[in-house]
Structure 1
Amino acid sequence: MTERHRQDGPRVVCAGDGFISSALLARALGRELPGVRTEHTDTGWPTEPFTGVDGVREASGDPRALAELVRGADALVTHLAPVTVQVIEAGAGTLRAIGVTRGGPVNVDTAAAERAGIPVVNLPGRNLGAVAEYCVGAMITALRGLPSAAARLSAGHWDAEGFRYERTGPELRACTVGLVGMGAVGRRVAELLRAFGSTVLAHDPYADPDEARRAGVRLVPLAELLAESDVVSLHARLTDETRHVIGAEALAAMRPGSLLVNTARGELVDHRALDRALDTGRLRGAVLDVFDPEPPAPGDPLTARPEVWATPHLAGASTQVAEESAERIAREVGRILRS
């Protein structure tokens, strides 16, 4: 569906979806660039899954239709639109900016944009607040056994046994939480945990020791973190070194009764090894918001386990993420168009 708004000013294509809509992008641009002309198109994501398209990843939409829209446009702003070579070539000569409301512009052929001399701007850390709040909320919820208790009550069973001492779980103030990765999200999680009184450890070979100290975090080797933590929360980037950083050996090294939380990348965890570790009863459970593959295959045993709280990649979804992303990308694109 496409609609045109004719005013005086630069022409910007707004390619939105069900989370960050073209209307939301256009309103933010209108506040930033009075007189802007916007053209709108929206895809069916998240109802329709994103895919890889013509060399770009995690994209939603038809690049041919988008290519037609960007001809003669001054800028393109989007969340998930497939900004392929075809789209960039169609906009070459007039496009002065491509704005992507994501932490990384994986849905843009950045090499093609660079060849065409079109700057690509994105929003690192755009959802760190939402992800950090999810992590801390999930820790509280899972440590206390609330997801399974709620599921039993929904099924009609009043489970008074949840008050037995051996079934109860600890408060965060009594927990040591280990963060694997101390990037923007990890630092924000550490800040929130300090308010609860948790002891916070972190493993990150690239972290600044002074910055970690200011955040109240003690940097330790991974082996020490796994052995000492009641909760292990993953915030590392996916690299060859971090792929399956939580495998059979790491799971065996975790403190008995501990909880694993992954909101970063599914590939950080060897899911088969996690399933086997949960079989032994060594771990309290796991919170998984990301998977490998994603979505998980039908019949994936992890998502059916009562000690696993699994959500469909929702940690970064909040009203504020959508609204603030639109405002931030409008400022970035506006700065370029005014220059």
Structure 2
Amino acid sequence: MRILAAGDHFVSPDLIRAALRRELSEDPPAGPAGAAQPQVTELVLPWPHEPFGPVGGVQEASGSEDRLIEALQGAAVCVTQMGPFTAKVFDARPELRMVAVCRGGPVNVDLAAATRHGVAVSFAPGRNAPAAAEFAVGLMLAALRRIPTADAELKQGRWRGDFYAYDECGGELDGATVGLVGYGAIGSRVARVLTAFGARVLTADPYADPDAVRADGVEPVELDELMRRSSVVSLHARLTPETHHLIDAERLALLPEGAVLVNSARGALLDHAPLPDLLKSGRLRALALDVYDVEPPPADWPLHDAPNVVTAPHLGGATRQTAHRAAAITAAEVGRFLRGRPLAHPANPEVTPTVPEA
């Protein structure tokens, strides 16, 4: 049986191959499909050296449909992070039985088309939770203490001792009220770190168990209350049709004067249009972004010239540990598939995975 490792320059085919080897050698699948180690072939997609984007109706994909179709010839399983699994791809490769996606959500897969073709799709929730949580806290500290600005000024030969002035210096997490919009794998980790800093943590998440949230020392509240009470707000919600522009102009207007806003989740959670004026007026003391409404932001992006903005090019999950974790989670799913066991993280559970006879 053939498996395609459609990796990229982050979760590479070598990492996927090594994870599959460990998974399948420790507990070899029984029966015809497990009689020998599957043949693993490789495809290298261009991300992140080339930005991902929409391809053939799916989002955040890398490479072309035609190249993927060619590489999938004879493959029953594909492990990928960014491959564009569109209806065209599924139509062209009816022998495909499973797609294991190395990311927190299979946004690069047309799930309706996969389901029509009886292809099981899995994903890797939590693969970047430690990295994303640490990065979010790093953005908070960078924005609160103006670390990037101070660094840039000193490298230009300017010793900004005036940043120590009361009107210019930043604030602390210790004693601050920090609101987390979303309390999943990442938000809950951020809360633990913030609690260690001495912050009071609020969260707004309609899907979180309030008793479990309180057990973590976090106060569950409604979103509008969170916006009114928090001196720092950090976004950790999933992007869905319901959460698009969840933080809009009306909710931004609820923030207390001098608040700090951090978004390292998804750009479209936040309405960017009001942000320049909020920064110039001081309603927002600082803004830290790792994600954007358009990626990358255009040259005339208004926030390029706005004061007290910290930016990064969507790096929240960019650690080597994340890449290894993603490969290991998806390899385990492939192992379950080949052994005829239920998938741990099915994206289309209505499909019953069927193992090829040989």
**TM-score normalized by the length of structure 1:** 0.92
Tell me if the contact between 2:280 and 2:307 (Cα under 8 Å) persists in the aligned partners.
no
Matched to 1:264, the amino acid is A
What amino acid is the match of 1:132? Answer: A
Q: What do you get for the CA RMSD once the two structures are aligned?
A: 1.6
One of 75, 78, 85 as aligned partner of 1:76: 78
Q: Runs of 5+ in structure 2 lacking a partner? A: 26-36, 341-358
Contact 1:303 1:310 (8 Å CA) reproduced: no
Residues 239 and 32 of structure 1: CA distance in aligned 2, closer, same or farther (over 3 Å): closer
The 8 Å contact of residues 248 and 277 in structure 1, kept in 2 or not, is answered as no
Residue of structure 2 equivalent to 1:33: 24
Is the Cα–Cα contact under 8 Å of residues 99 and 120 in structure 2 kept in the other structure? yes
For 1:93-172, list aligned pairs within 5 A.
93=95, 95-172=96-173
Map Cα deviations across residues 98-137 of structure 1 (whole Å, 9 max, x no partner). 1110111111122222122121111122211111101111
Q: Report the Cα distance in structure 1 between the residues aligned to 2:12 and 2:59, rounded to whole angstroms.
A: 20
Q: Which residue of 1 aligns with 2:257?
A: 256
Aligned pairs (5 A) from 1:46-85: 46-85=48-87
Distance across 2 between alignment mates of 1:262 and 1:65:
34
SS of match in other structure, 1:271 = coil
In structure 2, what is the equivalent of residue 290 of structure 1?
Answer: 291
2:336 matched residue in structure 1: 335
CA distance in structure 2 between the partners assigned to 1:110 and 1:268 by the alignment: 23
- Residue number in structure 2 paired with 1:6: none
SS of residue in 2 equivalent to 1:86: helix
Letter in 2 for 1:63: E
Deviation at 1:31, TM superposition (A): 1.4
Shift of 1:240: 4.1
Corresponding residue for residue 4 of structure 1: none
* Separation of aligned partners in 1, 2:231 and 2:251: 14
d(CA) in 2 for partners of 1:146 and 1:80?
33
Tell me how far apart the structure 1 counterparts of residues 281 and 245 of structure 2 sit (CA, whole Å).
20
8 Å contact from structure 2 (residues 235, 262) kept in 1:
yes
Given the superposition, is the C-alpha separation of residues 151 and 217 from structure 1 closer, same or farther in structure 2, using an over 3 Å criterion?
Answer: same
CA 1:247/1:115 → structure 2, altered by over 3 Å: closer, same or farther? closer
TM-superposed CA distance for 1:75, in Å, is: 0.9
Question: Which residue identity is paired with 2:15?
Answer: L
Question: In the alignment, which residue of structure 2 is the partner of 1:215?
Answer: 216
Match of 1:205 in 2: 206
- Displacement of 1:263: 1.1
Report the equivalent of 1:19: 10
Deviations 1:222-262 (A, max 9, x none): 23212221101111223444332323222222111110001
Paired residues of 2:6 and 2:43 also in contact (CA < 8 A): yes
Letter in 1 for 2:42: H
Residue range with higher mean Cα deviation, 186-195 or 28-37: 28-37
One-letter code aligned to 1:188 = R
How many residues align? The count is 329
Q: Which residue of 2 aligns with 1:186?
A: 187
Q: 1:45 aligns with which of 12, 33, 47?
A: 47
Which amino acid letter does the alignment assign opposite residue 123 of structure 1?
A
1-side partners of 2:267 and 2:49: how far apart?
21
Letter of the aligned partner of 1:74 in structure 2?
Answer: A
Aligned residue type for 1:25: I
**Structure 2 residue aligned with 1:280:** 281
Question: Aligned partners of 1:236, 1:74: CA distance in 2, in Å?
Answer: 34
Q: Provide the C-alpha distance between the structure 1 equivalents of 2:23 and 2:242, rounded to a whole number of angstroms.
A: 42
Using the alignment, how far apart are the partners of 1:299 and 1:135 within structure 2?
26
Q: Secondary structure at the match of 1:58?
A: strand
Contact residue 247 and residue 274 of structure 1 kept, 8 A? no
Calculate percent identity across the aligned residue pairs. Answer: 50
Instruction: Give distance in 2, aligned partners of 1:56 and 1:209.
Output: 35
Letter in 1 for 2:8: D
Q: Which shows bigger deviation, 14-23 or 32-41?
A: 32-41
Find the aligned partners of 1:296 and 1:287 in 2 and give their Cα distance: 14
Residue pair 2:204, 2:226 contacting (<8 A) in 1 also: yes
TM-score (norm 2): 0.88
| Paired letter, 1:112 | A
What SS does the corresponding residue of 2:75 show, helix, strand or coil?
coil
Greater relative contact order, per chain length (Cα 8 Å cut-off, separation 6+): 2
Aligned residue identity for 1:85? A
Deviation at 1:308, TM superposition (A): 0.4
Measure, in 2, the Cα distance between the counterparts of 1:325 and 1:169. 37
Which protein is richer in helix relative to its size? 1
Match of residue 326 from structure 2: 325
